[in-house]
Structure 1
Amino acid sequence: MSKSERTTDDSEAPEITEPGGTSASTSASGKVQSLERAITLLHATADSAPDGDTASNLAARTGLNRATAWRLLSTLEQYGLVERSPVTNRYTIGFAVARMASVAGFDGLIRRAHGTLRRVSEQTGETANLAVVQQLGLTYVDEVTPPVVLAAKWLGRQVPIHATSTGKALLAWLPAEEAQALLEGTLEAYTDTTITDRARLRAELTETRERGYSVCLGEMERNLYGVSAPVLGSRGRPFAVVSIWGPQDRVPESRFAALGPLARAAADEIAKAAETL
């Protein structure tokens, strides 16, 4: 790091002693400089949505040197406040921010999507749920289950990307290199129908895009079958996934041709409603 960089970014500032004896650098106005810089980076990251930006560009936009910006972003990433794409190294706002600011985050999406999920569940007699895209995967955030149906509760659970129709709907609509990054490591076999061969999975993802929805044949839990469709943003990127699923005896493969278009229509309806967020 050059002397000029140190002077620009790490200028002398008074220190205050925190409870417990630690010290924190403060500006003349009494603000904690490291916290102020981190907040500035968060705002810059939010402004770069939906594609995000690199640490170098965020540093330039906030007036920080790259080393300081990188350290702050690394800390923010550890706490889930920002997320870094393993493919592009671009930073976006993290899932933790959405949880803490849920009124402006997923709660707004859930409110707009819930009526659609309820109608789909009533129409099909099966469970309808919504998963949102986050770092390296998906998390279920809303679910409507018919009152007469005893079904597993998936709220708050992360989605096995390769072993569910939900995950495959995300993979099929992501750029190939991003989908590849999500599939690093061994593809675990949850049941005897889980697809663990990458070539076979790629072929299924191609078929998924062609028909407009994904399917699951008991690949996560042997008795659970279902279909899913992506909720796409203005640039065609998935930011959520709608799923319809149930036990094999009620949702056999023969129902997929009818349920798939319903999931697709529900996803499109939610995408349109989300435009006002």
Structure 2
Amino acid sequence: MIEKPGAENPPSSGRIQSVERAIGLMEAIADGPEQGSTIAEAADACGINRATAWRLLATLEDRHYVEKDSYSSRYTIGFAVNRLARSASVDHLINRCHPILKRLSDQTGETASLAVPRELGLMYVDEVVPPSLMTVRWIGRRVSLHATSAGKAMLAWLPESDTRAALAAPLTGHTESTHTQIEELEAELADIRRAGYSVAAGELEPGVCGVSAAIRAHQRSPIGVISIWGPQERIPDGRFSELGALVAAAAREAVGGSGD
């Protein structure tokens, strides 16, 4: 068989290197700093040269899979990722929860978000940000389970074996407030089960607080987590019980009843 001039010769595995690199860049950005990643950071994380990374990111930006901040030149995940998430298996949950998130955001003046389980982790798939706020978007990013209210809300209701597996590796101390001892976390998870919601105060990033509740149907493991989060000056300890009641009610609404 004679190949046509210029025909692409795919590797025997059938994989396309440029596609793998583009996916790798998006994963690196999703797992990177909250403020976004530079070309150099994303390229280094993927082990590719910066010129190649620049061309791939320019293409992804044009299709809105990544967004570039005009001031810092840092890249974050774009809104097209959310569109894909809506067409995946979590589509029904996102569509059901979006009006709930909108109401929570309107009620509280804070960001309301939805995260779903992903391989003993969580990923944000939808959020509503008040028009008056300028904040980093978390859609497409994975959640640190032990250092966020969303992560702890899920851990509290997992089967014991899954919880142990999720906490088996050494736990990163993101800030001085992060709980990194298993005994501390187990006690907190018991409190979460009693209260019906979880809190985190500056445990992933200093000054950022969140309150979350797991979406559970018929006493099963969580299918998602609803959160309200923002800076500590707007979400001090005194608001935790108020916001906790709101997210717990929202989580029950998301399954169409009490969730019992």
Listed one character per residue, the Cα deviations across residues 221-244 of structure 1 (whole Å, up to 9, x for unaligned) are 111111000000334210100000
* RMSD of aligned Cα (Å): 2.4
CA deviation after TM superposition for structure 1 residue 153, in Å: 1.2
| Residue-pair matches, total | 182
Q: Does 1:127 find its partner at 2:137?
A: no
Residue 191 (structure 1) aligns with? 175
Residue 253 (structure 1) aligns with? 237
> Quick one: which of 178, 185, 194 aligns to 2:162?
178
Residue 76 (structure 2) aligns with? none
Runs of 4+ in structure 1 over 3 Å off = 19-23, 99-104
> Quick one: which of 144, 158, 162 aligns to 2:146?
162
1:123 maps to a residue whose letter is Q
Higher Cα Rg, which structure: 1
1:133 maps to a residue whose letter is P
CA deviation after TM superposition for structure 1 residue 109, in Å: 1.5
Q: TM-score, normalised by structure 1?
A: 0.61
1:128 maps to a residue whose letter is A
1:173 maps to a residue whose letter is W
Q: Check 1:100–1:222 CA distance in 2 against 1; reply closer, same or farther (3 A cut).
A: closer
Q: Look up the SS of the partner of 2:223 in the other structure.
A: strand
The CA distance in 2 between the partners of 1:225 and 1:101, in whole Å, is 26
2:231 maps to a residue whose letter is P
Q: Check 1:217–1:104 CA distance in 2 against 1; reply closer, same or farther (3 A cut).
A: closer
Which runs of 5 or more structure 2 residues have no equivalent in the other structure? 1-8, 14-82
Listed one character per residue, the Cα deviations across residues 82-136 of structure 1 (whole Å, up to 9, x for unaligned) are xxxxxxxxxxxxxxxxx97953612222111100000000000111000001212
Residue 210 (structure 2) aligns with? 226
Residue 186 (structure 2) aligns with? 202
User: Which range moved further: 143-152 or 125-134?
Assistant: 143-152
Q: Look up the SS of the partner of 1:238 in the other structure.
A: coil
Residue 101 (structure 2) aligns with? 117
Which runs of 5 or more structure 1 residues have no equivalent in the other structure? 1-18, 24-98
Q: Look up the SS of the partner of 1:236 in the other structure.
A: coil
2:212 maps to a residue whose letter is S
The CA distance in 2 between the partners of 1:229 and 1:190, in whole Å, is 22
Residue 133 (structure 2) aligns with? 149
CA deviation after TM superposition for structure 1 residue 20, in Å: 7.1
CA deviation after TM superposition for structure 1 residue 189, in Å: 0.5
Residue 237 (structure 1) aligns with? 221
Q: TM-score, normalised by structure 2?
A: 0.65
